[in-house]
Structure 1
Amino acid sequence: MKTKIAILKGMLALLPMVVVAKPGVDQQIAFLEDSNSTLLQYPTQFTQSIMPKNIHSHNDYWRDVPLLSALSFGVASVEADVSLINGTLYVGHEIQALAKSRTLDSLYIQPLVQILAMTNPNTSFTAEVTGTPNGVFDTSGGTSLHLLIDIKTDGVEALPFILDAFEPLRSRGYLTTFANGVLTRSAITVIGTGNSPLEQVKALEPRDYFFDAPLTQLTDPSLNTTWDATLAPIASTDYETAVGWSGIGNISDEQSANLTRFIADAHQRGIQARFWDTPAWPIFARNNIWRVLAEAGADWLNADDLEAASSF
């Protein structure tokens, strides 16, 4: 028995010593996260690590969580269809889709006020800060979020109500504004589309409600309008009408020439170009169209599938 015990002791002596590792970086990260340490918190972190992208959230209000879902993917342009009914601005594509709780104020303006309060905190460090406020993206405070307002009812009637609705953002200096010949960019750039009335928008002074110009008509003299970024930061058109390539096979020379010409017309005026209603299926065809648009210099990727667009 003593011999067996001696043999076992000898064998154990040959085994490597078990060393308890000291806590490493992963353990320290876990400790700090579990302790909810203030070292890991800072005032403007609402959109922490989200990189803004030139993606337009088509019909953004259809999403389960409008606005916030778009921001979570870094989308820098959103769109709300707006109808004026009995003095209230409701959001929805058609009358049947409207709900009393879903207003321009509840879905977009108040959430933006709250988000921008977080990206522009009032602290002892910011007491003396002046100049343009931060936008919604923590990683790029100078990026202005485009908010397209697609008026579905009479535009002349709706415009005064829409301008009044934006007062909570206007009073805080959050709206891009053109005044006294100077364009001052800020956290939110509001752009009217749909039934937005061009002549009334042109007459605004100061102007913090801009116009979505007709991309295929920037050189049309019958519109009697000088198009530039002080009136129209973007110009848009129906992709099918302007280009028409399905994304399957090769784009024709004529289709490619139209695409290039319309984008060039916009860029010569300092205006960004957007093509809406691009085909969404088949997926490989959609991706082909996105790729051709990007290579041609289109500034915004119009998308319904934000996750796919954000990883494109």
Structure 2
Amino acid sequence: MLRKFSNTRSVFFGRAGLIFFMAFLCSSYSGKQTVLIHSHNDYQKNIPFYRAYSQQVHTIEADIYAAPASDGLLVAHDPHELDSALSLDEMYLEPLIFLFGQNEGRPWRGSEQVLTLMIDLKTPLHPTIDRLIAKLKRHPEVFDPSVNPYAVRIVISGSRPDPEAFGEYPRFISFDGFIDVDYTPQQLERVAFISEPFFRYSKWKGGADTLSAEDRQVIESLVAKSHKTGKPIRFWGSPDTVNAWETFRELGIDIINTDRPEACTLYFQEH
């Protein structure tokens, strides 16, 4: 039996409480970030969405499953979590719609920064992406950059169509790319960034030791290859320490993957 909540307010104590809560969370944020930060598996945080949002991160990640016999999309990491999972609407779409209304059509009032929501499809492409597109189409002022230049950028990961089929999907969604795929120029237009598993290329844990010269050369070559296509790169499954963050910045990795959005943001503010 799936646990249901009547609406987002039942989870976050009402809109008035939300405004107060967001003011509190954002009170320590100052200035623009010089590094792009990705809130990895954001939905697993004790306060999903709002912790990362309050830090003005570049990307927030949610994994979704198509609920059986409905148009619902549930947010969870593994199937065994679905019985207690909340919906994508409750956790991400409804808060974003509300905040865009409060912030004059922007994710953060008065900010030029654009927010990216990366959605990892854990169930087969169809019907998962069809349900998602139907939900996004209801609010083009929030999710369609052709309607609002400050709209949330939606990036699809997980179950993705073949690159040859990218053009069959609305242009308000783009796709997470692979480093070893030879995309055509038209396909590259639909790729938001490149994501690769760090552990495929290095066993470094981000401790006090340094990344080996051999591993550094490998990572630098991947960064250069991604940049040659004009796309930023992110490594997931990567060390999540201060030493790792600084090393990744030095290597030219564009998007820092972290499970610690506050600490990561604070580090780059101070350095």
Report the TM-score range of the alignment, normalised by the length of the smaller protein.
0.7 to 0.9
Distance 1:77 1:254, change over 3 A: same
Number of residue pairs aligned between Structure 1 and Structure 2: 239
User: Please, which of 99, 116, 121 is the counterpart of residue 100 of structure 2?
Assistant: 116
1:58-109 CA distances to partner (integer Å, 9 max, x unpaired)? Answer: 1111122211111122222101100002231110011221246611111111
Provide the TM-score with structure 2 as the length reference: 0.78
Equivalent residue, structure 2, for 1:264: 224
Equivalent residue, structure 1, for 2:244: 289
Select the structure with the greater relative contact order (CA < 8 A; seq sep ≥ 6).
Answer: 2
CA distance in structure 1 between the partners assigned to 2:164 and 2:31 by the alignment? 35
Equivalent residue, structure 2, for 1:156: 126
CA distance in structure 1 between the partners assigned to 2:243 and 2:202 by the alignment? 14
Establish whether residue 69 from structure 1 lines up as the match of residue 51 from structure 2.
Answer: yes
CA distance in structure 1 between the partners assigned to 2:102 and 2:92 by the alignment? 16
Amino acid at match of 2:243: N
CA distance in structure 2 between the partners assigned to 1:173 and 1:78 by the alignment? 15
Identity %: 25
Distance 1:288 1:227, change over 3 A: farther
CA distance in structure 1 between the partners assigned to 2:253 and 2:187 by the alignment? 17
Q: Which blocks of at least 5 consecutive residues in structure 2 are unaligned?
A: 1-22
Q: Which blocks of at least 5 consecutive residues in structure 1 are unaligned?
A: 1-44, 121-132, 179-183, 281-285
Equivalent residue, structure 2, for 1:231: 190
1:1-312 aligned at under 5 Å gives the runs 51=31, 53=33, 54-86=36-68, 87=70, 88-99=72-83, 102-120=86-104, 133=105, 135-138=106-109, 140=111, 142-170=112-140, 172=141, 174-176=143-145, 185-199=149-163, 202-204=166-168, 206-215=170-179, 217=180, 220-221=181-182, 225-226=184-185, 230-248=189-207, 249-280=209-240, 286-312=241-267
Bigger mean CA deviation after superposition, 191-200 or 153-162? 191-200
CA RMSD of aligned residues (A): 2.7
Amino acid at match of 1:164: A
Provide the TM-score with structure 1 as the length reference: 0.69
Q: After the TM superposition, which parts of structure 1 deviate over 6 Å for at least 4 consecutive aligned residues?
A: none
| Aligned-residue offset at 1:213 | 0.3
Contact conserved, 1:59 with 1:79, CA < 8 A, in 2? Answer: yes
Contact conserved, 1:57 with 1:303, CA < 8 A, in 2? Answer: yes
